[in-house]
Chains A and B, each alone.
Chain A
Amino acid sequence: MYDVTVIGAGVVGALIARRLAAYDLRICIVDKENDVARGATAANSAIVHAGFDAKEGSMKARMNVRGSRMMEQVCAELGVSYKRNGSLVVAFEHERAEVEAIYRRGVQNGVEGLRIVEKEELFEMEPNLNPELSCALYAPTGAIVCPYGLTIAAVGNAMDNGAELVLNFEVVSIEKTAEGYTLTAADGRAVETRYLINSAGVYSDEIAKMLGDESFSVHPRRGEYMLLDKECGQTTTCTIFHTPTKMGKGVLVSPTVHGNLIVGPTATDMEDKTDTATTTEGFADIRAKAGDNVAGIPYGKVITSFCGLRSVGSTGDFIIKAENNAVLLGGIESPGLSSSPAIAEYVEELLRGMGLVLTPKADYNPNRAPMDAFRHMSVAEKNEMIQKDSRYGRIICRCEEVTEGEMVAAIHANPPAYDVDAVKRRTRGGMGRCQGGFCSPEVIRILAREWGVSYDAITKNGGGSYINKGRTKVAGGNKEGN
Chain B
Amino acid sequence: MQNYVDKTAPYTALVVIGGGPAGMAAAVAAYDNGVRDMVILERDLNAGGILRQCIHNGFGLHRFGEELTGPEYADRYHKMVVERGIAVKTGATVLDVTPSEEEGVAAYVTAISEAEGMFTLRAGAVVLAMGCRERSKGALNIAGTRPAGIYSAGTAQRFVNMEGYMPGRKVVILGSGDIGLIMARRMTLEGAEVKAVCELMPYSGGLARNITQCLDDFGIPLMLSHTVTQIHGKERLTGVTVSKVDERRRPIPGSEIYFECDTLLLSVGLIPENELTRGAHIGMDGITGGATVDQYRQTSLKGVFACGNVLHVHDLVDYVSEEAALAGSSAAAHLRGELTEGRAITLKTDGKVRYTVPQAVTVTGNTADVTVYFRPSDIYRDVTVTVREGGADGAILSKKKRIKVAPGEMETITIKAADLTATTADTLLVSIEESAKKGGNA
Binding site for B on A (CB under 8 A): 226-227, 274, 276-280, 282-283, 299-300, 302-306, 378-379, 382-383, 386-387, 390-391, 393-395, 398-399, 401, 403, 433-438, 440-441, 444-445, 455-456, 459-461, 463-476, 478, 480-481
Partner of A441, one of B143, B155, B166, B169: B155
Binary interface profile of B, 256-296, with partner A (CB < 8 Å = 1, else 0)?
Answer: 00000010000000000001000000000000000000000
Chain A: minimal CB distance from B128 (Å): 15
From known contacts A433-B136, A469-B168, A470-B166, infer whether A394 and B113 are also in contact, taking CB-CB under 8 Å: yes
Structural contact, A278 and B165, CB atoms closer than 8 A? no
Most B C-beta atoms less than 10 A away, residue of A393, A473, A476:
A393
For residue B146, which residues in chain A have a CB less than 8 angstroms away from its CB?
276, 306
Measured CA separation A300–B164 after assembly (Å): 35
Closest chain B residue to A459, Cβ basis: B148
Structural contact, A435 and B158, CB atoms closer than 8 A? no
Most B C-beta atoms less than 10 A away, residue of A403, A444, A456, A481:
A456
Chain A: minimal CB distance from B328 (Å): 24
Most A C-beta atoms less than 10 A away, residue of B115, B155, B166:
B166
Structural contact, A465 and B116, CB atoms closer than 8 A? no
Measured CA separation A463–B169 after assembly (Å): 19
B236 within 8 A of A: yes
Measured CA separation A68–B417 after assembly (Å): 70
B392 within 8 A of A: no
Structural contact, A305 and B115, CB atoms closer than 8 A? no
For residue A299, which residues in chain B have a CB less than 8 angstroms away from its CB?
141
Chain A: minimal CB distance from B396 (Å): 37
Closest chain B residue to A437, Cβ basis: B152
Chain B: minimal CB distance from A381 (Å): 10
Measured CA separation A274–B234 after assembly (Å): 9
Chain B: minimal CB distance from A437 (Å): 5
Structural contact, A473 and B191, CB atoms closer than 8 A? yes
Measured CA separation A302–B136 after assembly (Å): 10
Chain A: minimal CB distance from B147 (Å): 6
For residue A277, which residues in chain B have a CB less than 8 angstroms away from its CB?
143-145, 231
Structural contact, A434 and B133, CB atoms closer than 8 A? yes
Most A C-beta atoms less than 10 A away, residue of B139, B148, B231:
B148
Closest chain B residue to A479, Cβ basis: B166
For residue A304, which residues in chain B have a CB less than 8 angstroms away from its CB?
137-138
Structural contact, A480 and B165, CB atoms closer than 8 A? no
Structural contact, A466 and B114, CB atoms closer than 8 A? no
For residue A460, which residues in chain B have a CB less than 8 angstroms away from its CB?
147-148, 235
Partner of A469, one of B113, B158, B167: B167
From known contacts A279-B143, A302-B141, A435-B137, infer whether A470 and B114 are also in contact, taking CB-CB under 8 Å: no
Number of interface residues of B (CB under 8 A): 52
9 intermolecular pairs with C-beta atoms under 8 Å apart: A226-B141, A227-B138, A277-B231, A303-B138, A393-B113, A393-B118, A395-B112, A433-B136, A469-B167
Chain A: minimal CB distance from B270 (Å): 11
Interface of chain B residues 165 through 207 with chain A (CB within 8 A): 165-169, 189-191
From known contacts A280-B229, A440-B155, A474-B164, infer whether A465 and B148 are also in contact, taking CB-CB under 8 Å: yes
From known contacts A302-B141, A393-B113, A471-B164, infer whether A466 and B148 are also in contact, taking CB-CB under 8 Å: yes
Measured CA separation A324–B146 after assembly (Å): 40
Measured CA separation A399–B134 after assembly (Å): 13
Binding site for A on B (CB under 8 A): 4, 6, 43, 91, 93, 95, 112-118, 133-134, 136-139, 141, 143-149, 151-152, 154-155, 158-160, 162-169, 189-191, 229, 231, 234-236, 262, 275
Structural contact, A302 and B133, CB atoms closer than 8 A? no
Partner of B93, one of A300, A395, A468: A395
Structural contact, B236 and A464, CB atoms closer than 8 A? yes
Interface of chain B, main secondary structure: mixed
Partner of B143, one of A283, A436, A459: A283
Structural contact, B138 and A305, CB atoms closer than 8 A? yes
From known contacts A395-B93, A401-B95, infer whether A472 and B114 are also in contact, taking CB-CB under 8 Å: no
From known contacts A306-B146, A433-B136, infer whether A478 and B117 are also in contact, taking CB-CB under 8 Å: no
Measured CA separation A350–B229 after assembly (Å): 49
Most A C-beta atoms less than 10 A away, residue of B114, B144, B235:
B114
For residue A274, which residues in chain B have a CB less than 8 angstroms away from its CB?
234
For residue B95, which residues in chain A have a CB less than 8 angstroms away from its CB?
401
For residue B148, which residues in chain A have a CB less than 8 angstroms away from its CB?
459-461, 465-467
Closest chain B residue to A394, Cβ basis: B114
Structural contact, B141 and A305, CB atoms closer than 8 A? yes
From known contacts A382-B118, A393-B116, A395-B112, infer whether A437 and B133 are also in contact, taking CB-CB under 8 Å: yes
Structural contact, B143 and A395, CB atoms closer than 8 A? no
Chain A: minimal CB distance from B44 (Å): 10
Structural contact, A475 and B141, CB atoms closer than 8 A? no
Measured CA separation A401–B151 after assembly (Å): 21
Closest chain B residue to A280, Cβ basis: B143
Chain A: minimal CB distance from B146 (Å): 7
Partner of A468, one of B115, B162, B167: B167
Partner of B165, one of A276, A398, A455, A464: A455
For residue A461, which residues in chain B have a CB less than 8 angstroms away from its CB?
148, 235
For residue A438, which residues in chain B have a CB less than 8 angstroms away from its CB?
133, 155
Closest chain B residue to A420, Cβ basis: B148
Chain B: minimal CB distance from A427 (Å): 16
Closest chain B residue to A474, Cβ basis: B164
Partner of A465, one of B154, B167, B236: B236
Structural contact, A398 and B43, CB atoms closer than 8 A? yes
For residue B152, which residues in chain A have a CB less than 8 angstroms away from its CB?
437
From known contacts A379-B118, A395-B112, infer whether A278 and B134 are also in contact, taking CB-CB under 8 Å: no
Chain A: minimal CB distance from B90 (Å): 11
Partner of B117, one of A226, A279, A386, A472: A386
Structural contact, B134 and A437, CB atoms closer than 8 A? yes
For residue A459, which residues in chain B have a CB less than 8 angstroms away from its CB?
148
Structural contact, A435 and B138, CB atoms closer than 8 A? yes
From known contacts A379-B4, A398-B43, infer whether A435 and B114 are also in contact, taking CB-CB under 8 Å: no
Structural contact, A382 and B169, CB atoms closer than 8 A? no
Chain A: minimal CB distance from B32 (Å): 31
Structural contact, A472 and B235, CB atoms closer than 8 A? no
Measured CA separation A348–B171 after assembly (Å): 52
Measured CA separation A433–B132 after assembly (Å): 12
From known contacts A302-B139, A302-B141, A465-B235, infer whether A393 and B112 are also in contact, taking CB-CB under 8 Å: yes
From known contacts A387-B117, A441-B155, infer whether A395 and B162 are also in contact, taking CB-CB under 8 Å: no
Partner of A471, one of B115, B155, B166: B166
Structural contact, A395 and B165, CB atoms closer than 8 A? no
Structural contact, A455 and B163, CB atoms closer than 8 A? yes
For residue A387, which residues in chain B have a CB less than 8 angstroms away from its CB?
117
Structural contact, B163 and A303, CB atoms closer than 8 A? no
Chain A: minimal CB distance from B56 (Å): 13
Measured CA separation A470–B152 after assembly (Å): 19
For residue B155, which residues in chain A have a CB less than 8 angstroms away from its CB?
436-438, 440-441
For residue B262, which residues in chain A have a CB less than 8 angstroms away from its CB?
469
For residue B113, which residues in chain A have a CB less than 8 angstroms away from its CB?
393-394
Measured CA separation A69–B191 after assembly (Å): 59
For residue A278, which residues in chain B have a CB less than 8 angstroms away from its CB?
143-144
Structural contact, B169 and A390, CB atoms closer than 8 A? no
Most B C-beta atoms less than 10 A away, residue of A379, A391, A461, A472:
A472
Structural contact, A469 and B166, CB atoms closer than 8 A? yes
Closest chain B residue to A228, Cβ basis: B138
Structural contact, A302 and B138, CB atoms closer than 8 A? yes
Measured CA separation A436–B234 after assembly (Å): 19
Chain A: minimal CB distance from B226 (Å): 16
Listed from nearest, the 4 A-B pairs whose CB atoms lie closest are A475-B164, A460-B148, A383-B117, A304-B138
Chain B: minimal CB distance from A433 (Å): 7
Measured CA separation A464–B145 after assembly (Å): 14
For residue A478, which residues in chain B have a CB less than 8 angstroms away from its CB?
190-191
Most B C-beta atoms less than 10 A away, residue of A303, A394, A464, A470:
A394
